[in-house]
């Protein structure tokens, strides 16, 4: 075999190898596109999870509110110094908080979707609270963060922090 024919043969083998690799890569890419895409929640969907929580507050039932939290959730509540780390403690907090008939309203919302099963909603909200003895209403402005995770197909609150605004 001459030097020239060896060079031509090497070029053909290289070209064939590149075509084969390209075909395999295209096939893998096409096969991957047939796989179900992981759907991520939209920012609006995550933001409306607050409405579900706020509606649960309106029932006055601490168990209904606690049902929205994951089994191992952490609650850093607005009007308690105690960190709540299990269902009983979360229910206990809401037994007391719900006496004030809280009605929440978001003022500012920043949502970060982390993946198809987790998201964070942070911002500022305010609560209108009604004194159970006098009926007098007051508004408390607070910053918040909710970390949501999808558990068994249902969005649950994994971490919830709320604290009154220092300037208020």
Beta 154-164 vs 118-130: how paired, if at all? unpaired
Nearest to 116 by CA among 150, 82, 65, 157: 150
CA dihedral sign, ordered 6, 11, 15, 17 = positive
pLDDT of residue 1: 54
pLDDT in tens, 96-154: 999 999 999 999 999 999 999 999 999 999 999 999 999 999 999 999 999 999 999 99
- Nearest Cα residue to 120 out of 128, 112, 109: 112
Q: What are the residue ranges spanned by the domains of the chain?
A: 1-37, 43-164
Q: Quick one: residue 83, left, alpha or beta (phi over 0 = left, psi -120 to 50 = alpha)?
A: beta
Report pLDDT digits (tens) over 12-61.
444 444 344 343 344 433 344 333 345 889 999 999 999 999 999 999 99
* Topology (CATH) of 43-164: Nuclear Transport Factor 2; Chain: A, (3.10.450)
Tokens of 117: 């099963």
């Amino acid at each position: 075999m001459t030097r020239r024919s060896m060079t031509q043969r090497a070029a053909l083998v290289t070209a064939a190898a590149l075509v084969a690799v390209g075909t395999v890569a295209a096939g893998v890419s096409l096969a991957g596109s047939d796989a179900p895409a992981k759907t991520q929640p939209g920012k609006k969907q995550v933001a409306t999870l607050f409405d579900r929580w706020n509606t649960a507050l309106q029932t006055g039932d601490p168990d209904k509110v606690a049902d929205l939290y994951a089994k191992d959730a952490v609650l850093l509540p607005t009007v308690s110094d105690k960190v709540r780390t299990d269902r009983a403690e979360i229910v206990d907090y809401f037994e007391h908080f719900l006496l004030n008939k809280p009605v929440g309203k978001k003022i500012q919302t920043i949502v970060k979707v982390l993946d198809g099963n987790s998201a964070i909603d942070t911002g500022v909200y305010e609560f209108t609270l009604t004194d159970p003895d006098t009926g007098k209403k007051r508004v408390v402005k607070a910053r918040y963060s909710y970390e949501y995770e999808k558990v068994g197909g249902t969005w649950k609150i994994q971490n919830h922090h709320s604290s009154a605004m220092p300037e208020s």
